[in-house]
Copies of this chain bind each other. A is one copy, B any other.
Amino acid sequence: MCPRPYKSGKRQTSAAETRVRILEALRKLLANESSPSELSMEAVAREADISRLTIYYQFKSRSGLLEALYDHLANRGNMRQMSEAFREPNPRTALEKMIRTFVQFWASDPVVIRRLRAMSSLDTEIGDGIRARDFRRVYAANEILRRMNKHPREKTEPQNSSVAEILAMLTSFETYDALSRAGQSNDAITEILLKLAHATIVS
């Protein structure tokens, strides 16, 4: 009857390790080209060498598991570099760093990201979380444009208000994926995006 908090300790650490092991198992299965939609909770549990019910215990549902994977991927890819890009005083350099950061991130695990995003298009639960993260690129681009003074407070010109959205589109996974699947190297993609971004902001 007495509530005992159990703030932290080995148990929490152990549980966190379990979560990572589950997420890594999921990532491994999704990365396997040969198994496209053979993604069952039981398969993930087998791969992680734990019980199927532990997944439900740690991540409420299938959707919860997949949503957690997106943040896990952001930690694996170097998405922390984005804060570095924001600290960059020169806005043009900031834009360049933003482009390079996202190319590197999308390239870190394209197959997994592609499939995860595909599932999010079919499941609103996951979809909302990913769309919110996608919108951060619009915000980041807007911030950079504001610093360039190319984007004053007055939004009279509709041409200008769409620039951030175009930059967000250019730095999207889908843009990277289309060019990557066409055989372009990551460096080549970066160059292409830098040029297109430049053409966008000077127009």
Interface of A with B (CB < 8 Å)?
Answer: 36-37, 114-115, 117-119, 121-124, 127, 138, 158, 162, 165-166, 168-169, 172, 174-175, 177-179, 182-184, 188, 192, 195-196, 199-200, 203
Contacts of A166 in B (CB 8 A): 179, 192, 196
CA distance A121 to B121 in the complex (A): 11
Q: Which of B37, B169, B188, B199 is within 8 Å of A199, CB to CB?
A: B199
By secondary structure, the A interface counts as helix
Contacts of A138 in B (CB 8 A): 182
Is A169 touching B175 in the complex (CB atoms < 8 A)? yes
Contacts of A178 in B (CB 8 A): 165, 168-169, 172, 174-175
A35 to nearest B CB, angstroms? 10
